[in-house]
Amino acid sequence: MHKVDIAIVGGGMVGLTLANALQALDIQVAVISDKPLSKSLPNDPLLRVSAINGANATALQRLHVWQRMEQSRLAPYTSMTVWDKDSFGEIHFNSADIGAAQLGHILENQVLINALAESVRGQNVTALQGQIAKVLWGQQETMLMLDTDEVVACRLVVGADGANSYIRRQANFPLTFRDYGQTAIVANIHCEQPHDQCARQVFTPHGPLALLPMADPHTCSIVWSQTHEQAKHLLALDDTAFSHALTATSNSVLGLMSLASARQHFPLVMRYSRQWASDGVVIIGDAAHTIHPLAGQGANLGMQDAFALATAIENCLKANKDFSRLRHLRPFERERKAQAIKMIAAMDGFKTLFAGDNPLKKLIRGAGLTATDHLPLLKQKWLNEAMGW
């Protein structure tokens, strides 16, 4: 039996960020994951990537995680262009506008996970591989039974086990969810012209297409969110026809595009857990909320949950309070729920405004984007929000 203070279920970006943030504290932590944490990286970029904002990059640098990542695979982006395919609206952002070296980085998720996993090894964190088969909740201690027959006893269980969280279900936390009515197609593409470290997004009536610049100047990762029906049609196309559709949708902004990988697809669902904490248990990351990827904020939000929870635990330790009790987890829950709701509302607003081809909406989009492009203070405020400052 492993006896620890905190058991983190889930070894994704969020669970491992928490494990790293807890490293300096005088407590024992276990990370339980049903998959191996580290994986060797292929030469070609992986399909799952995330735009990581400045606030999280800085926090990861302080933990010396950032420095452990394979630097050749980090893709900084220094500008951002967003346009509406159906109107004249366009807006540009530049890192120079806010005196920053870059607006963020596009990272392959596994590159970050590898660095996070490597960084906790040999510290006060035990990594266990296995799936949770049963949870026995106790007053002061919870037992987690793994399918490997190992048992973990802990004071606090942290569910960082993703969108279909087993821990959230076992804790009976009620969930609000809504189908966004879209499927995201993810792939890597080769573009004729260099991307110049610019992250681009075009809104079409069926949904947005993001072209995220990768480390190679002619490679972009795409997140193409379309209605389920339209996505089905795009997925059925052969590689050449798909590449043509992509080039046309992007207005040939990077010249001819050609598919350089397989295509993966994800149905997009908004999820919001109406309760995040109870005595002995708390959930973070996708276990607590999932949002539309159009602003690339899901993992950023989850990592901020992890840092906020680590701070709450540290403050409890300093004040000699029991961090596993709901009354001490409440301020964390309140603060992070408010941030998640704000982000869910913002994604709904964007999605509604940019959906469809209603002429009035097109006029508002076109005029709004172009007018905002000439308002440097408003753009700075948006950038600061997007960068998590």
Ligand X SMILES: Cc1cc2nc3c(=O)[nH]c(=O)nc-3n(C[C@H](O)[C@H](O)[C@H](O)COP(=O)(O)OP(=O)(O)OC[C@H]3O[C@@H](n4cnc5c(N)ncnc54)[C@H](O)[C@@H]3O)c2cc1C
The nearest distance, CB 102 to ligand X, in angstroms, is 15
Sign of CA dihedral 129, 265, 221, 211: negative
By CB under 6 A, name the one of 4, 9, 65, 254 that touches ligand X: 9
Long-range CB pairs of 372-377 (<8 Å, 24+ gap) are 372/91, 373/90, 373/91, 373/92, 376/97
**Position 156 contacts ligand X (CB under 6 A):** no
Calculate the alpha carbon distances from 83 to 90, 115, 122, 369 in Å. 4, 35, 48, 8
Q: Which two tokens stand for residue 285?
A: 């990351």
Contacts of 221 (CB under 8 A, 6+ apart): 45, 47, 49, 106, 186, 187, 188, 189, 212, 214
By CB under 6 A, name the one of 45, 89, 162, 280 that touches ligand X: 162
What DSSP string describes 320-384?
A: T--TTSHHHHHHHHHHHHHHHHHHHHHHHHHHHHHSS--HHHHHHHHHHHHHHHT-HHHHHHHHH
Stretch that binds ligand X, among 7-15, 312-320, 335-343, 369-377 (CB under 6 A): 7-15
Taking alpha carbons only, the member of 186, 158, 244, 175 closest to residue 49 is 186
Size of the site for ligand X (CB under 6 A): 32
3-state secondary structure of 161: coil
Residue type for position 5: D
The nearest distance, CB 254 to ligand X, in angstroms, is 19
Q: Would you tell me how many other CB atoms lie within 10 Å of the CB of residue 172?
A: 8
The nearest distance, CB 357 to ligand X, in angstroms, is 24
By CB under 6 A, name the one of 7, 29, 30, 33 that touches ligand X: 33
The nearest distance, CB 32 to ligand X, in angstroms, is 5
The nearest distance, CB 286 to ligand X, in angstroms, is 4
- Residues 312-351 binding ligand X (CB under 6 A) are none
The HSE-up count of residue 36 (CA atoms within 13 Å, CB side) is 4
- Whether 124 and 27 have beta carbons less than 8 Å apart is answered as yes
> Which C-beta is closer to ligand X: that of 14 or that of 312?
14
Stretch that binds ligand X, among 72-80, 95-103, 154-162, 308-316 (CB under 6 A): 154-162
- Residues 46-75 binding ligand X (CB under 6 A) are 50-51
CA gyration radius for the chain? 21
The nearest distance, CB 34 to ligand X, in angstroms, is 4
The nearest distance, CB 11 to ligand X, in angstroms, is 5
By CB under 6 A, name the one of 283, 298, 340, 383 that touches ligand X: 298
By CB under 6 A, name the one of 207, 208, 302, 388 that touches ligand X: 302
One symbol per residue from 179 to 218: x for binding ligand X (CB under 6 A), - otherwise; what is it? -----x-x--------------------------------
By CB under 6 A, name the one of 23, 38, 190, 266 that touches ligand X: 266
Looking at the DSSP assignment, which residues form a beta bridge with residue 202? 83, 209
One symbol per residue from 220 to 249: x for binding ligand X (CB under 6 A), - otherwise; what is it? ---x--------------------------
By CB under 6 A, name the one of 7, 10, 108, 182 that touches ligand X: 10
- The residue whose Cβ lies closest to ligand X is 12
Taking alpha carbons only, the member of 27, 20, 23 closest to residue 4 is 27
Cα–Cα distance for residue pair 178/351, rounded to 1 Å: 13
Calculate the alpha carbon distances from 92 to 36, 181, 198 in Å. 40, 28, 10
**Position 11 contacts ligand X (CB under 6 A):** yes
> Which C-beta is closer to ligand X: that of 166 or that of 354?
166
Displacement of CA 243 from its chain's centroid (Å): 26
By CB under 6 A, name the one of 2, 25, 28, 34 that touches ligand X: 34
**Position 132 contacts ligand X (CB under 6 A):** yes
Cα–Cα distance for residue pair 265/272, rounded to 1 Å: 22
Chain positions contacting ligand X, by CB under 6 A: 9-15, 32-35, 50-51, 131-132, 160-162, 166, 184, 186, 223, 266, 285-286, 293, 296-300, 302
